[in-house]
Structure formats: C-alpha cells, structure tokens
Structure 1
Amino acid sequence: MQGIISIQSHVVYGHAGNSSAVFPLQRMGIEVWPIHTVQFSNHTQYQAGWKGRAFEAEDINQLIAGLENIGKLNDCQAVLSGYQGSAAQCQAIIDTVAKVKASNPNAIYVCDPVMGDPQKGCIVAEGITEQLTGSVMPIADVIVPNQFELSQFTGMAITDLEQAKKACAKALSLGPKMVLVKHLHSLSDEQFSMMLATEDACYLIQRPHLAFDKQPVGVGDLISALFTGALLQGNSPVAAFEHATNASFGVLTLTQKLQQWELQTIAAQQELVTPSSNYQALEV
C-alpha cells in the first residue's frame, strides 16, 4: 500500500494543517500517513486562544523509524510538510526526506514553508524561518509558498507580475524544481492570484476573491495537499495546479455560503474530486 507522509500541525476542532490536508487526499483516493508537529485544540486565530502543545523533533524521528522498521518507507510516494513547531523539527524533516528518498528514489518532497502572511507577519518560533529558507526549501522538489514566504526565500520584493516571475525563477535556481505560489496578494484586490513556475514556463490563475468577515485558516494547507495529490495521480503540473485552484475554490465557496469561519471541507467534499468551477492556467 503506497501513501504520503504528511508532517504538519493538527487541530482537534476545525481544519488546519493535517486537519486540512489528510481528508482531501483520502477523498482523492490517496493513503495518508500523518505525523503531527503540534496538536492544538483549535487554530491559533481564535480570540479565546487555544490549548495543546508542540511535539519534540525526536517524536517525528521515532515515528519515521517505526515506519522504516516495517518497510513502509519503500512505499512512500511523497513527503508533504507544513507548519513546524520548532527549528529542531525542521532538521527532522530533512532527515525524513533523506531516509524516504534512500528507500524510494522516485518519492518527491513537497514543502509548504509556513512562515506567515502579509497580515500576520512572522508567526513561527525563533529559528524556523532561517532553517526553512536555508536548509529545508532548497532540498524540496516542490515548494508552495505564499508571496511573503517566497520573498523570504529569495530575498526579493514582489509588487507586480514581473517581479513575481523573477522571484519564482530565483527560487528555482536555489534547488526546487517547481514553485506553486498559493497567493500573490499584490497582483489584484478583486482577484485571488496563484502562480505555478516550472523550469519550462510560468502560469497564472486568477479566480474571484471571496470576502469573509474572518478569513478562513488552513486554505494553504488544503491547496498544498490537493496539488500533491493531483501530481501523484499522474496529472501534469499545470493540470494539478488547475485542480488545486478549482477544488479549493469550491470548498471556500461553500464555506462562504454557509457563513462559516472554519473551512467546510466535509460538506464540500465532492469539490475535492470533481470541482464545479473550471478556472484555467494561462502562461505568462
């Protein structure tokens, strides 16, 4: 049985981190082996706060060792990483990727380098940003940053389309083979812009920007999972990009319709496999 190791945060209530990534991948027909970097009662944007804790990096190492003992690293098709609770966990990710690729050279590593966003700024513990940009992102086959995280990785300001393309080109020169920018906020206020950059070309998708009283959390985690799943199902990078865009938009559309803050991933599950929208990528 082949599957994906997904190393991310976990919330008991709602959908963020692994709670936003695991079910969509399963609904697409993909086995997921989740490892949690933190376990919180709810995501961290609640005014009332949250309860829970981060796990030790050694917990990740032990779980990977257990999978190795039963021979399952051979069957790992991809490692997907998201929010890290400490700089030491970043090293555990690096070690995990090395072990998986030693067991299965065809496995890919997809890194969602969670550092923050334009509104929140840096939201991770000390040392994580430096570890992500200096050691983790360069070994990834695919990175899925937002605009803020792409700028952190490349050291480049992004205010328009041409700068976004140049930043993606710089990112590709630093190690990754593919860059999916899950939100380019500087391109438009009315349209939600996403970009895919490969060694061959850059592609842009713009779909309507949905207004919420409180912006849902976990959308980036959902996009990363959908893109990874679509790639593993044999889709081209552009087709996987379109699927991730349209499926996540379907979840957000129902979330808005139901006037909810938490992503309505379960209620909108059909969108994960057969999206009702069809926004297409344009080469730029």
Structure 2
Amino acid sequence: MTRSRNPVIPKRAKKVLSIQSHVVHGYVGNKAATFPLQTLNWDVDVLNSVNFSNHTGYGSWKGHSCTGIEIEQLFEGLEGINMHYDAILTGYTHGASALKSVGSKCIAMKKNQPNIVWLLDPVMGDEGQLYVSKEVIPVYREILSHRLVDIITPNQFELELLLNIKITDLNSLRSAVKLLHLEFAVKYLVVSSLTLTAEALGLDSSHNGKMYSCISSMDSDKLLFFEIDRYDSYFTGVGDLFSALLLDRLYKSGDVVDSTNQVLSIMSRVLYVTREICVKDLGKEVNAKIGDFKTMKECELRIVECADLYAQQDCDYAPFEL
C-alpha cells in the first residue's frame, strides 16, 4: 500500500464567540452566521440566546428563550475552562434580563482581553416594528455606555431606538451618527439599511426605489453611502449574515469601506441565488410575507448552497459621500 502524503498544515483558525438566536429549521441568528464564518477559517463557539423550531416570521413557533441566569451559567462554564477569543459577535437577545447577562459578561471579557474585536448587532426590529421586548432598549444603551464595542450594525430603526432620535433626512442622520460616536466611542458604525428616500438624502429622482447602507468611522467626519437594490420579498437572516461577514472582513483588514463593499456584494449574490433556486424549484418567483409560513419556507437564505461566495473579495458598489 502506498503511504499517503501528510496534508499541509493550515493556518490556525481564529476563535469567535457568537451569541445569537438558534432555530432548528431555517437560517437566522447563529444558523446564518456559523457556517459562513467556518468557511472563512473561524472556529465558532455558539451560545444560543433562544432555541426555537423556526423564526417568528412564520407566524407560529415552539421553543424557549434563555434566561439571564442560564446565560450566566454558560459563561461560567466557559470561564471554568479558561476560554479566550479573538472576537465576539452579539446579535438577537429577546429579553432585558438575558441581554443584561450577555452585556456584563462581554464587557468583562473585553476588559480582560482588550484586543478582542466586539461586533454588536442590536437586533430589535425594522421599519418601525419592534420584535423584542421594549425593555432591551435601555439595556443596549447601558452596554454601549461602557465604550467597549468596536463595531455596531443597526438598521435605521434600531439606530433611532438606541439614540431616541427620529432620522428623517441627511441632517438628522448626521446628528445621529455624530452622537453615537461621541456617546459610545464605537469605532465603526455600519447602518445596514436606511429607509430614507432618495429625496430625503438630497438625491435626484433617478435614485428612487433604492436602499442605502451608510458607514462612518470615529476618526472621520465623512459619511459614505452605498446604493443597493430593494427587493419586494421579505428575507430573514440577512442582517445576521451581513454582520458575520463584516466581522470577518474588518478583523482581517481594518478597512471599513472595502469590508462593507465586499459584504454587500456577497449579500447581493446570496439573495440572487436564493431567489433563483426558489424559481427553479417552484417554476415561479415567490415573495415571502410575514406570517405566511409557505412563502417564508421557500425564501429561506440558501446558506449552504452559497458556500463558495463567502470568501469572494469583489467590490461591486461605488461608495459616495454626502
């Protein structure tokens, strides 16, 4: 028998602690983040803030949310075996008690290991609809007040909730961004989706029907924007995948403009693959609606099928300053 060659020893994986929701079926929270991060050479330790049969957009689900005590017990177990991480990713946590526990433990980790990169995605709602307990809003503010979060990825509605500011135009957006950097010393702010119209941003009618992502750095007065296509269908897990990929890119490069551009480019392709597979399977395009489990099931992100996309470094968008 011929002796097989020893494999080339790969680069050691970085370790990330991902604290988000878990669903048995579908791709949101840790289900949307873990596999893509693993393909990018991250060793992912998963702490599930909820354990549901499926995400709540289906209209019905079974399962339970972790209490603050349960989360603290899990952290104590990790501390007992002396776990250390290169990065922390925190996402959906439903209740105030659980979020307080997540916050206090992550703050302690960051103080003990200042080089940890912490990306906080304050998952609270979208387009005016809150889908967590309203008591989590002041808890997020308290966590941020420790000035230890490196990257934050709210959508427009979540940014408004955090700052208690209504964003209606470019000037109010500037005020909100400036306040966030001053109050919380967050190094990078990436507003994953703005619902402001082109007119509110001072753009002409050729930009109507588009969405925007906005980025800001604490050490710069510039506000940069990316114009992205708006989809009629409702896709869940998009923000969770976005934040996971952004953490990877920013950790490795430190360039928030290129990192966001790459991630937006990948997200566009993931959504394209998801829609095209749905059309191929059903012979027609399906637009998912909240509460309709049939359309929701068909429009789950194709996380596994898109495995080859996550390492791509294409920048398909042209950032512009306003």
**Which residue in 1 is equivalent to 2:160?**
151
Q: Does residue 6 of the first structure (1) align with residue 25 of the second (2)? A: no
The answer (yes or no) to whether the contact 1:113–1:137 under 8 Å persists in 2 is no
Q: 1:66 aligns with which of 67, 77, 86?
A: 77
Q: 1:198 to 1:192 in 2, by over 3 A?
A: same
CA positional deviation for 1:234: 2.6
Please show how residues 92-171 of structure 1 align to structure 2 within 5 Å: 92-118=101-127, 121-132=129-140, 134-139=141-146, 140-171=149-180
**How many Å separate the matches in 1 of 2:313 and 2:230?**
17
Q: 1:50 to 1:275 in 2, by over 3 A?
A: farther
**How many Å separate the matches in 1 of 2:178 and 2:130?**
24
**How many Å separate the matches in 2 of 1:241 and 1:5?**
21
The answer (yes or no) to whether the contact 2:91–2:121 under 8 Å persists in 1 is yes
Q: Provide structure 1 residue ranges, at least 5 long, that are not aligned to the other structure.
A: none
Q: Which portions of structure 1, spanning 4 or more consecutive aligned residues, are displaced by more than 6 angstroms?
A: none
**Which residue in 1 is equivalent to 2:68?**
57
Residue by residue over 1:155-191, the C-alpha shift from the partner in whole angstroms, topping out at 9 and shown as x without a partner, is 2221233332321111111212221101101134522
CA positional deviation for 1:38: 0.3
**How many Å separate the matches in 1 of 2:130 and 2:225?**
26
The answer (yes or no) to whether the contact 1:161–1:187 under 8 Å persists in 2 is no
> How many aligned residue pairs are there?
277
**How many Å separate the matches in 1 of 2:261 and 2:35?**
19
CA positional deviation for 1:59: 2.1
Q: 1:184 aligns with which of 188, 194, 204?
A: 194
CA positional deviation for 1:66: 2.0
**How many Å separate the matches in 2 of 1:101 and 1:231?**
17
Name the TM-score, length of structure 2 as normaliser: 0.81
**Which residue in 2 is equivalent to 1:269?**
307
The answer (yes or no) to whether the contact 2:40–2:311 under 8 Å persists in 1 is yes
**How many Å separate the matches in 1 of 2:223 and 2:110?**
27
Aligned-pair Cα RMSD in Å? 1.8
The answer (yes or no) to whether the contact 1:250–1:276 under 8 Å persists in 2 is no
Name the TM-score, length of structure 1 as normaliser: 0.91
**How many Å separate the matches in 1 of 2:174 and 2:308?**
33
Q: Secondary structure at the match of 2:194?
A: coil
Structure number with greater Rg is: 2
